[in-house]
């Protein structure tokens, strides 16, 4: 299981890459493995400002639909539109081409509440 050390994580299995005042968000390798083949990614919150832990979209796999929770408060400024035609990128490259949204962070202190790679590995038993 791939858990990069340069990312932050949530207990809901989202990963976060901080780049200045922007956070790139996706789901972890563990999460995509648990979900199975992803067939659809929906984000209807583009250009909206949401609070931490609010649902920003869903990921649909063959057998289930899972809510996506915002790891940091802020405005959703980008959606990875390539996922509309190739949702399987979330399975094949969850930390690269399978990213889901970009968020303009409104409260940078919330970053401290995210999990480190070591804490996430402990959470998932890796």
Q: Could you tell me the domains of the chain? A: 8-108 (2.40.50.100)
Average pLDDT of the residues in 82-96: 97
Q: What is the pLDDT of residue 126?
A: 86
DSSP 8-state assignment for residue 115? B
Q: CA-CA distance, 64 to 31, in Å (whole number)?
A: 12
State what percent of residues in the chain have pLDDT above 70.
100
Give residue 24's pLDDT.
98
Give the whole-angstrom CA distance, residue 71 versus residue 92.
22
Q: Please name which of 24, 19, 4 lies closest in space to residue 70, comparing C-alpha atoms.
A: 24
| CA–CA gap between residue 68 and residue 52 (Å, rounded) | 11
**Helix (H) / strand (E) containing 35:** helix 29-35
Q: How far apart are CA 72 and CA 58, in angstroms?
A: 17
Give the mean model confidence (pLDDT) for residues 69-82.
Answer: 98
Average pLDDT over every residue of 16-23: 97
């Amino acid at each position: 299981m791939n858990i990069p050390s340069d990312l932050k994580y949530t207990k809901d299995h989202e990963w976060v890459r901080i780049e200045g005042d922007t956070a790139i968000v996706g789901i972890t390798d563990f999460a995509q493995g648990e979900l199975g083949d992803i067939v659809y990614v929906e984000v209807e919150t583009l250009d909206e400002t949401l609070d931490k832990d609010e649902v920003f979209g869903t990921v649909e796999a063959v057998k289930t639909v899972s809510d996506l929770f915002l790891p940091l408060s802020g405005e959703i400024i980008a959606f990875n539109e390539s996922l509309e035609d190739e949702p399987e990128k979330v399975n094949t490259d969850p930390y690269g081409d399978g990213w889901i949204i970009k968020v303009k962070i409104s409260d940078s202190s919330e970053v401290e509440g995210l999990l480190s790679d070591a804490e996430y590995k402990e959470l998932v038993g890796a």
